[in-house]
Structure 1
Amino acid sequence: MTLWTLFFKNSKILSEQFDKDPKKMMLINNIQHKNEIINIYLSTSKNINLSDLEKLCDSVGWIRRPLKKVKIAIKNSFLIVSLFQISERENKLIGFARATSDYAFNATIWDVVIHPEFQGKGLGSILVNQIIKDLREAEITTITLFADPEVLSFYKNLGFLSDPNGIRGMFWYPK
């Protein structure tokens, strides 16, 4: 019996979203947050509530994307990693990241987001490191991502490098 199952057998917030999912594990147990004891769980399930994801992205000021397309993007992602705050009062999506891949050599990390209340606590690093771990286990050798200038140092601290041979990537956008 996993910690996950034990927690929910005694919890007031039993949820089909979390119940008996082997792709979820306790990350942080019994921490204080806003005068409440919470647990934080990591999940690699693609079963994401799109409304909760939209709220998370809104919390950091991202531009809204059509939920129909977000659903397709998640479905076609190679892997998903999410973080959830679990307390006596609520289940709350507090972190999310995903990766796409050619399933052989290359992968790209997308949509790394941590709720502002939880930023600066190492959870973004946990998300990215979990994705890297899972991609390396799948023998993916090249991992890329796109980053805004204000988060470049975050990714550099995790081992990402700007292209040492100069920018070789190119983009096509509709006119």
Structure 2
Amino acid sequence: MSFWKIFFKNTSDMNWQTNIELENTENILLVKHLENEGQYLDIYFSIDDDINLYDLEKLCDSVGWVRRPLKKVKMAIDHSFLTICLFYKSCQKKNLIGFARVTSDNSFNATIWDVVIHPKFQGKGLGKVLMDQVIKQLRYSDISTITLFADPQVVSFYRNLGFITDPDGVKGMFWYPL
């Protein structure tokens, strides 16, 4: 399994202001009338750690991720600095179509994990919209060093969002049990 550790290029000319405070928020309209498979859907996001784990598991299954024990997923979410969900509503039910979570030292550094968009909604700009919201929330919290881990096939996606690989020769290291 290979990953790239990627750093966000912190440029002072970027305006990352947001009027959404880093608190539990629900049902913030993000994209109005997104066309998807002949339907027009309103896409919402929420900053919320009360996530339906079975819906998240189905979302991760849809992109072929290896299943993880739900108890550990719940623990990871509970200990995350930020979780953001993208969803649309049908019959008053939230349909989870995107997710990202962030860990942080709450001062200087944050790492983005588990960024996922349902395959039926990929290629519509929702990954970029999701990442924009993650970065806005982190910049709102005055986090200046933002990293993420990405599979090699999606590195170019993150590069287009302003992330760079190995700035100043910094190399990530991993320890795995044998």
Specify the structure having the higher radius of gyration (Cα).
1
Q: What is the distance in 2 between the residues matched to 1:22 and 1:149?
A: 33
Deviation at 1:92, TM superposition (A): 1.0
Aligned partner (choices 77, 81, 84) of residue 81 of structure 1: 84
Q: How does 1:16-35 map to 2 (within 5 A)?
A: 22-35=25-38
Question: Residue in 1 aligned with 2:17?
Answer: none
The one-letter code sitting in structure 2 at the alignment partner of 1:62 is: W
Q: What is the distance in 2 between the residues matched to 1:108 and 1:165?
A: 18
Asked whether the equivalents of residues 83 and 102 of structure 2 are also in contact (C-alpha less than 8 Å), the reply is yes
Question: Residue in 1 aligned with 2:75?
Answer: 72
Asked whether the equivalents of residues 39 and 87 of structure 1 are also in contact (C-alpha less than 8 Å), the reply is no
Aligned partner (choices 100, 114, 117) of residue 114 of structure 1: 117
The one-letter code sitting in structure 2 at the alignment partner of 1:98 is: R
Asked whether the equivalents of residues 37 and 87 of structure 1 are also in contact (C-alpha less than 8 Å), the reply is no
Does 1:36 find its partner at 2:39?
Answer: yes
Q: How does 1:81-100 map to 2 (within 5 A)?
A: 81-88=84-91, 90-100=93-103
- Give me the CA root mean square deviation: 1.6
User: 1:58-105, CA deviations, whole angstroms, 9 ceiling, x for partnerless residues?
Assistant: 000000000000000000000011100213485310000010000011
Number of positions where the alignment pairs a residue of Structure 1 with one of Structure 2: 155
Q: Which runs of 4+ in 1 moved over 4 A?
A: none
Question: Residue in 2 aligned with 1:48?
Answer: 51
